[in-house]
Amino acid sequence: MSKSQFALYIHIPFCVSKCSYCDFCSFVPKLEQVTTYISALKQEIESAKEKTKGRQVSSIYIGGGTPSTLPAGAVEEIMACVRKNFDLVENCSITIEANPNSFDSEKAKEYARAGCNRLSLGLQSDNDKILKVLNRAHNFNDCVNAVQFALNNNINDINVDIMLGVPQQTKRDLEITLQKVIDLPITHISAYGLICEPNTPLTNAIRQGKLILPSDDEAVEMYDYTVDFLAKHGFKRYEISNFAKEGYRSAHNMNYWKRGEYLGLGLAAHSFYNGTHWHNTEDFTKYLQNPTNCREDIEHETIQTAKEEMIMLALRTTDGLDIEKYNNTFSCDFLQEYKSAINKLLENDLIQIKNGVVRIKNLYISNAIIAEFF
């Protein structure tokens, strides 16, 4: 019998500078903070060995922050610790995030030696004016070079992140970015609509009228254009913001959307393991003091939360919600249970039910549609 599997997320909370829109748990560190963090992280990895005994890691995602800001040798050191303490499936998908300007030939070599076989690059835009609004310290050429460094080292599965709906971004700007991105030899694109996170410099500048967001109509137009354009060029959407060439969906993210288990290690990392959700502390000092005992917001799932989560996650994807799978998992009747929401959404032509699968027709407004179920 095959061993049960879970995914592993490792958080690296460091960046070279802070982008104007970002509220991820990341900061610009001092060198000694990096060294102490790696020791604490290794301690946490070692302590997780016991509770994952008899199970296998299906995918690994080293994210951040910006893992590529780590000093030479750190990723190899972390991955050696991971291999020593966990049982990885054969051909485990191992992704590492990088910024185009903190990734070079030496890092590509190191990541390949560490077993990383997928790279995720945060480009956001090819346009210097927009990169400046976002406070990004790289240009498009850095991204072209980064892709080449990865390919030279047989890291062939490459994602590029871009952003839509940024102040000063016109549809024409986006068209140019998309054209340049699809011309790169990459396998995956994540296209995120800008989320105006509270208290970030970008959101404050918008509030003060110093920067103006594209209108809702313009933002919808940008999203629809992205979906059509990428499909025409072989990048098929499989989740609201994710597009892949055939066979290159992100295994790690697919596990999230299928409600698979994942263990998050490092500052602020989120986990869903053995029917429990939690996240590690976001307080750097607290994490360093006690990396093996810093869980917060521990929540044991109930049948109701599990049901809601399955609906919410599945409806984000183009695979949709498999009614039979839902019914078998929870020994119930989905169509009966959500009869009134389903009827309302069908009458308004917002969902489709075909061959036992529920799908949202327009994923751009998926949040509002999913809310109808709760």
Ligand X SMILES: C[S@@+](CC[C@H](N)C(=O)[O-])C[C@H]1O[C@@H](n2cnc3c(N)ncnc32)[C@H](O)[C@@H]1O
**Residues of this chain that bind ligand SF4 (CB under 6 A):** 15, 18-19, 22, 24, 26, 64-66, 99, 122
For position 294 contacting ligand X by CB under 6 A, the verdict is no
271 close to 278: Cβ distance less than 8 angstroms: yes
> What is the closest distance, in whole angstroms, from the C-beta atom of residue 97 to ligand X in the complex?
4
Quote the least distance from Cβ 329 to ligand X, whole Å.
31
Residue 194 binds which one of ligand SF4, ligand X, none, with CB within 5 to 8 A depending on kind?
ligand X
SS3 225: helix
97 binds ligand X (CB under 6 A): yes
Q: Which residues pair with 259 in a beta bridge?
A: none
Length of the chain equals: 374
DSSP state of 69: G
Closest CA to 95 of 131, 69, 64, 63: 63
Select the residue interacting with ligand X from 52, 151, 182, 192 (CB under 6 A): 192
User: In whole angstroms, what is the distance from residue 113 CA to residue 105 CA?
Assistant: 12
Minimum CB–partner distance for residue 28 and ligand SF4 (Å): 9
CA distance 297 to 169: 38
Is residue 195 within the footprint of ligand X (CB under 6 A)? yes
Residues 158 to 187 in contact with ligand X, rule: CB under 6 A: 161, 163
Q: Which of 10, 22, 147, 360 is close enough to bind ligand X by CB under 6 A? A: 22
Q: CB of residue 111 vs ligand X: minimum separation in angstroms?
A: 15
Distant-in-sequence, close-in-space partners of 361: CB < 8 Å, separation ≥ 6: 349, 350, 351, 352
Q: State which amino acid sits at residue 210.
A: K
CB 311 → ligand SF4: shortest distance, Å? 29
Place of tokens 């599965």: 157
What are the Cα distances from residue 291, in Å, to 53, 129, 269, 286? 20, 41, 11, 8
Could you say whether residue 364 binds ligand X (CB under 6 A)? no
Contact between 282 and ligand X by CB under 6 A: the answer reads no
The yes or no reply on residue 21 touching ligand X (CB under 6 A) is yes
Q: How far is the CB of 61 from ligand X (least distance, A)?
A: 11
What are the residues binding ligand X (CB under 6 A)?
Answer: 21-22, 24, 64, 66, 97, 99, 122, 124, 161, 163, 192, 194-195, 197
